[in-house]
Amino acid sequence: MRLTNAISVDVEDYFQTEAMSAVASRNTWDSFPSRVEANTCALFELFARFEVKATFFFLGWVTERFPQLARKAHELGHEVGCHSYWHYPVFRMTAKEFWEDTYRARNVIEDATGAPVSGYRAPNFSINRSVPWAYPILEELGFQYDSSVYPIRHELYGNHRAPRHPYMVSTCLMELPLATWRVFQQNLPVGGGAYLRIFPYALMKNGIRAINNSEQAPAVLYLHPWEIDDSQPHLPASWKSRLRQYTGLAGMQSRLERLLQEFALGRIYDSVYLPALARIRDEVPLGPQFEPGNSVPGGRPSPQQVTAR
């Protein structure tokens, strides 16, 4: 059976990225000409051409200004998730700040779509072992899964020792890491975003194929609306930040089209979360502490790693 991989979009504008945070502080966001609606609608059209339903993790700030955009994603059959309110990395917040930011974003998004939100994606893949309070807060706020762990070495969000495949972090919350290709005992990032723009396309393609064929697992992929926008205003950030944000924008659309052409892609909830949940239910025998109908058994404190099939 052909696996369906997951494609996700972190819905934020070009001035809200970590790379631009030094030159576009949050209190100035309203002064920038917004391009998020046009770019997200372009993705809606592209996905429709390939008959693909995706997961869109909306920033609360964006949803408050463009509720019709989140509503449209929902009405088109895409999954709508939460990408925080203010786009602060989780490891730079206190537990209280994280709770408030997530609560506000979740409510804004649910008000816009009229539907509950199941998935969370942290800004900059910023959930790691330094924020042990993050998962309990997500669970308390009703999330069923988190997809904020990128198990690679990276100066901003390195978390390379984390498991590479879905695992329960508590009885009700699952972590769905971004796609990595295990080569020479290293995890190569093949999840999309800047890596899809900058690395050779063949690396991404071979990596996803290897995850599908050798590991019999789906890959979780991501991108941003501003990454298909080669005409976005260039801000006077550092050369490193400009390199990170502007490299490969012109070729992104065609690379994304190749991905859509060559792989079966779908929403995270159906393509990765539900198959992983079914597998966990199959593999964990019911003990005296688990009665049918209770919540899914998980694996705290050592995460129980599973491979979604």
What residues make contact with Zn ion under the rule CB under 5 A? 10, 12, 123
Position with the least CB separation from Zn ion = 10
Residue 62 or 169: the one with the smaller Cβ distance to Zn ion is: 62
Q: Measure the CA–CA gap between 31 and 20, rounded to whole angstroms.
A: 14
Q: Measure the CA–CA gap between 122 and 142, rounded to whole angstroms.
A: 15
Residue 12 or 229: the one with the smaller Cβ distance to Zn ion is: 12
Rounded least distance, CB 85 to Zn ion, Å: 12
Going by C-alpha positions, the residue among 95, 140, 92 that lies closest to residue 120 is 140
Residue 21 or 180: the one with the smaller Cβ distance to Zn ion is: 21
Helix, strand, coil % (nearest 5) of the chain? 40, 15, 45
Residue 61 or 135: the one with the smaller Cβ distance to Zn ion is: 61
Q: For strand 304-305 and strand 180-183, is the pairing parallel, antiparallel, or unpaired?
A: unpaired
Token pair in block for residue 4? 């369906």
Rounded least distance, CB 51 to Zn ion, Å: 26
Rounded least distance, CB 206 to Zn ion, Å: 26
Residue 101 or 306: the one with the smaller Cβ distance to Zn ion is: 101
Rounded least distance, CB 155 to Zn ion, Å: 16
Going by C-alpha positions, the residue among 176, 160, 97, 105 that lies closest to residue 131 is 97
- How far out from the chain centre does Cα 148 lie? 6
Residue 119 or 123: the one with the smaller Cβ distance to Zn ion is: 123
Angle at 220 between CA 214 and CA 225, to 5 degrees: 145
Q: For strand 220-223 and strand 304-305, is the pairing parallel, antiparallel, or unpaired?
A: unpaired
Residue 157 or 277: the one with the smaller Cβ distance to Zn ion is: 157
Token pair in block for residue 231? 């005409």
Rounded least distance, CB 305 to Zn ion, Å: 26
Rounded least distance, CB 216 to Zn ion, Å: 30
Rounded least distance, CB 39 to Zn ion, Å: 14
Q: Cite the DSSP H helix spans in the chain.
A: 36-49, 60-65, 67-75, 95-113, 134-140, 193-198, 201-214, 239-246, 249-262, 268, 274-283
Q: Return the H-helix or E-strand segment holding 223.
A: strand 220-223
Residue 36 or 168: the one with the smaller Cβ distance to Zn ion is: 36
Q: Measure the CA–CA gap between 74 and 231, rounded to whole angstroms.
A: 27
Rounded least distance, CB 11 to Zn ion, Å: 9
